[in-house]
Amino acid sequence: MQEGNITVQAERVGEDSSIANIRRFISESLSQQSETQKVTQAMADRRVAITLGVGGAVFALTHDWRRLASVFLVDYACALKLSTPIAFKSIMYRAAQSDLLLKGGRAIEQLAAVDTVVFNKTGTLTHGDMQVTEVVSFDPERAWAERLLAIAASVEEHSNHPLAKAALASAHHHVLPHINHG
């Protein structure tokens, strides 16, 4: 058991913290409507007027509250208004469970048109477990691939960068010698 004091200094608190930024991001994304939501909202709004008109006509002709209630029960405007935002929020929730933040329904709709995604954040998406899959020499007569890998691994032996670790692991796997570079 060890005893002692520790001093902690918070650099960002409250609204300046990362959690507050994520909360703001999610709040803003939930307030943005997608085109699908706008269309279903407009359809539902038009449907409400029709349902009220039909309900009024049914009651005027029959004076029966049960038939009026039946007209209101078969109206799907509420389901239409609720289903689209719930679907988008469900997609956002499922994405968040996979550590993805989606900025609302508009982003989800635009994602459908994406045909290529390019990443270059080493370690962010790969978790630092990169591998050397091939070494290509542009002058194979003077510098063959195994020698290039051995040189790269020897130069990077003290680095913690994911690419350096990948070169070292590959050189070790191929039992390549250390090359002095002093």
Answer for the pair 57, 63: CB distance below 8 angstroms, yes or no: no
pLDDT classification of 60: cutoffs 50, 70, 90: very high
CA distance 108 to 34: 8
Nearest by Cα to 52 from 30, 68, 67, 39: 68
In a domain? residue 7 = no
Determine the straight-line distance between the first and last CA of the chain, rounded to whole angstroms: 45
pLDDT classification of 1: cutoffs 50, 70, 90: low
Choice between 144 and 30, residue whose per-residue pLDDT is larger: 144
> Model confidence over 64-116: pLDDT tens digits?
999 998 888 887 677 777 788 888 888 888 988 888 888 778 888 888 889 98
Say whether both 70 and 28 belong to one domain. yes
CA distance 86 to 91: 9
- The rounded mean pLDDT for the chain is 82
Q: For residue 133, what are the domain limits?
A: 119-182
Report the pLDDT value the prediction gives residue 122, as an integer from 0 to 100: 61
Say whether both 103 and 124 belong to one domain. no
Say whether both 24 and 47 belong to one domain. yes
CA distance 177 to 182: 15
Going from the C-alpha of 54 to that of each of 42, 68, 70, 74, 160, the distances in angstroms are: 19, 9, 11, 11, 72
Say whether both 167 and 89 belong to one domain. no
Q: Is residue 148 scored above 80 in pLDDT?
A: yes
Say whether both 136 and 93 belong to one domain. no
Say whether both 36 and 73 belong to one domain. yes
CA distance 78 to 81: 5
pLDDT classification of 182: cutoffs 50, 70, 90: low
Say whether both 99 and 125 belong to one domain. no
Say whether both 87 and 125 belong to one domain. no
Report the pLDDT value the prediction gives residue 56, as an integer from 0 to 100: 92
The pair of structure tokens assigned to 49 is: 């007027």
